[in-house]
Amino acid sequence: MSGSELGGGPEDLEPLGRGLVDLRRRALQELASVRIFSDQFLTKFLWARDLDVELSLKLLLNYQRWRRESPEISRCLSPSSVLGLLNTTYHAVLPQRDHSGSRVLIYRIGQWDPKDWLAFQVFSVSLMTSEIISMETETQTQGLKAIFDLQGWSLGHALQFNPSLARKISSVLSDSFPLKVRGIHLVNEPMFFRPVLAMIRPFLPDKIRKRIHMHGAHFQDTLSDFFSPSVLPPEYGGEGPGIEGVCQAWTNQLLQSEQLLQQIATHPTGDITIPPEDCWISETVEAEQLLEG
């Protein structure tokens, strides 16, 4: 397998190669029912923990455990099943990365009607996106940042959350999914969102807690401290493509990935590989089309 397929630059190939051998050996010892892990799959876990095999193994085992213990979420990876939610322009992955190479995700909570969609269905959208972008080499090394627009947050939303769901969401954010969370930015957050955040926060490690930024209603004045104008949509103080367009573009990407996501959902370990250039091509084409449009 080539360096471009594994990810990282030439200087990273030797430690990555050693890490793959070591991680595979130890993972197969721990998971007696598994006979094989692909390089592409294991690479995600190594980069998510900066090639530290011990931490990568822990992450991999947590990922397997979480999938087994939460089948109502881990097996619900069907974009078409939540198309009504996606069509409200609830979620987008921006076509341009931030200055550090991180993927930038936006969630617009006000577009989620809690009478129509349960919290676990809404959370499944995040998982579907996470599974797709975790296959991108640059995302594996540079991680993601998420913006949660909480305008429209209501009691109906709050009542959907309980400690059990909060624990599951927190585990994915912290140590059960092969992605680096570089930042969580809350905008338009009302006072009565704080109890939900207080419910989730205890389950998060310190490094994630420190990466939570609350911007309030005047977020356009402070988001610019973290994101350049070219990255963000105009609705968030930027100069990039409009939010509705990028939401629709990502919805299309999810729908095109339906078969792949279903394979991941039903696979015993989630080890489904695709040609790495497929992710790169889709990302480049999406960005060019939106920027030109």
**92 in Cβ contact with 124 (< 8 Å):** no
Residue position matching structure tokens 């419910």: 199
| DSSP secondary structure, 82-97, as one string | GHHHHTTT-EEE-SS-
- CATH number of the domain that residue 40 is part of: 1.10.8.20
pLDDT at 290: 54
Specify the number of domains making up the chain.
2
As averages over each run of 10 residues, the pLDDT of the chain (293 residues) reads 47 83 97 94 96 97 92 90 97 96 96 94 94 94 96 90 79 84 94 82 85 92 93 96 97 96 96 67 50 52
pLDDT at 284: 46
Q: Which of 21, 47, 69 is the last residue of a domain?
A: 69
pLDDT at 226: 95
30 and 156 belong to one structural domain: no
- Find, among 277, 292, 281, 264, the residue nearest to 76 by Cα: 264
25 and 79 belong to one structural domain: no
Q: Is 251 left (phi over 0), alpha (psi -120 to 50) or beta?
A: alpha
137 and 179 belong to one structural domain: yes
pLDDT, averaged across the chain = 88
- Residue-number span of the structural domain to which 65 is assigned: 3-69
- CATH number of the domain that residue 106 is part of: 3.40.525.10
- Using DSSP bridges, classify how beta strands 91-93 and 144-149 pair: parallel, antiparallel or unpaired: unpaired
Q: Which of 49, 69, 89 is the last residue of a domain?
A: 69
How many whole angstroms separate alpha carbon 180 and alpha carbon 65?
Answer: 19
Give the number of other CB atoms < 10 A from CB of residue 97.
Answer: 20
How many whole angstroms separate alpha carbon 126 and alpha carbon 107?
Answer: 9
51 and 89 belong to one structural domain: no
60 and 200 belong to one structural domain: no
pLDDT at 60: 97
